[in-house]
Amino acid sequence: MNSHSHSPQFLDEAAVRPLLKLEDLVPAMERALADFSTGRVLQPVRSIVSIPQHHGFMALMPAVYGDVMGAKLVNLYPDNGARGLPTHLAVIVLFRAATGETLAVMDGRLITELRTAAVSAVATKLLSRPDASSLAILGSGVQARAHFQALSLVRNFDDIRVWSRDPQHAKTLASEIGATAMPAEDAVRGADVIVTVTNAAEPVLRGAWLKTGALVNAVGAVGPKRRELDDDAMRGAVVVDSRQAAMQESGDVLLAGAEIYAELGELLAATKPMPPAQRTVFKSLGLAVEDLAAAQLVLQALQKNC
């Protein structure tokens, strides 16, 4: 394929799926996060447009990263689940940074799903105990499934617990992944790694349930007034993907008045020491550079296949 061809590729989700592997995404996310936190990425905090009449949001996420630049347009429609549609829908546009030429336009729903889980896997690899064997997943949707796959690449979990506000969904997920469905408190107590991937606006996880040394990957709540963790849960070492974004967009951090210990990329780049071995919360909001790095992997895989 001529890299300077004038007709940019358009890749729908079916075209993206075989080209994007979690095994490749995890190291790509490690590099992207380290590059972000060491100043190698030009990226403003995303702009979010509220669409109250449809209970939706549209976010614009631009970045310049090495020889590519681009943006993701992502729509979040929580009511879509009831319509049989994905709650997150997205498109990513990739340009050549040197000339501004369009390289590709691709569906971003699957990229968002997998890169989010891959980032949690990066955090889990770095911040959880190497012998972590019990995993609690609060939530039962797309992200719950992707997180199970991604985290299983970096730790061997032989005890998996699932909770969801919809008990039937929890049972379905549990049977799919060899887990046990149970109440949230039972799922969290004694778990080494906890993932919160819910649509909740109020806490579903209480710090009182967490054991010493536990890692929480807090993924679900985005927005200054939404949270999944209570104040007590936020008292551990708090690690974020972007300090600037967390101070604008993370209700978990803002409402608890939590102090941010480090960005994940600072720990990966070793510009900050690892947090003390008490419990740790990784608050993931999602960064444009993660989308660009993932889209670049897709493009490279496509060019290899041509």
What single string gives the DSSP state of each residue in 203-219? --B-GGGPPTT-EEEE-
What pLDDT sits at residue 6? Answer: 63
What pLDDT sits at residue 1? Answer: 43
pLDDT at residue 116 greater than cutoff 60: yes
Per-residue DSSP letter, 229: B
Helix (H/G/I), strand (E/B), else coil: 65: strand
Average pLDDT of the chain? 94
What pLDDT sits at residue 2? Answer: 45
User: CA 251, CA 257: separation in Å to the nearest integer?
Assistant: 9
User: CA 202, CA 293: separation in Å to the nearest integer?
Assistant: 32
Q: For 140-152, what is the mean pLDDT?
A: 96
Tell me the longest C-alpha to C-alpha distance in the chain: 58
Each residue of 156-212: pLDDT tens digit? 999 999 999 999 999 999 999 999 999 999 999 999 999 999 988 899 999 999 999
Sheet containing 237-240: give its strands across. 180-181, 159-163, 134-138, 193-196, 215-218, 280-283, 237-240, 260-263
Q: How is 169-199 classified by DSSP, letter by letter?
A: HHHHHHHHHT-EE--HHHHHTT-SEEEE---
pLDDT at residue 271 greater than cutoff 90: yes
Q: Mind listing the domains of the chain with CATH numbers?
A: 9-111+289-305 (3.30.1780.10), 115-287 (3.40.50.720)
What pLDDT sits at residue 197? Answer: 95
User: CA 254, CA 275: separation in Å to the nearest integer?
Assistant: 20
Vertex 287, ends 224 and 78: CA angle to 5°? 55
Tokens 């190497």 belong to 130
pLDDT at residue 286 greater than cutoff 50: yes
Among residues of the chain, what percentage have pLDDT more than 90? 90
pLDDT band (50, 70, 90) for residue 263: very high
Each residue of 62-88: pLDDT tens digit? 999 999 999 999 999 988 988 999 988
Q: 237 is written with which tokens?
A: 């070492």
Each residue of 15-66: pLDDT tens digit? 999 999 999 999 999 999 999 999 999 999 999 999 999 999 999 999 999 9
Residue 58: exposed, middle, or buried by beta-carbon count in 10 A (0-12, 13-18, 19+)? middle
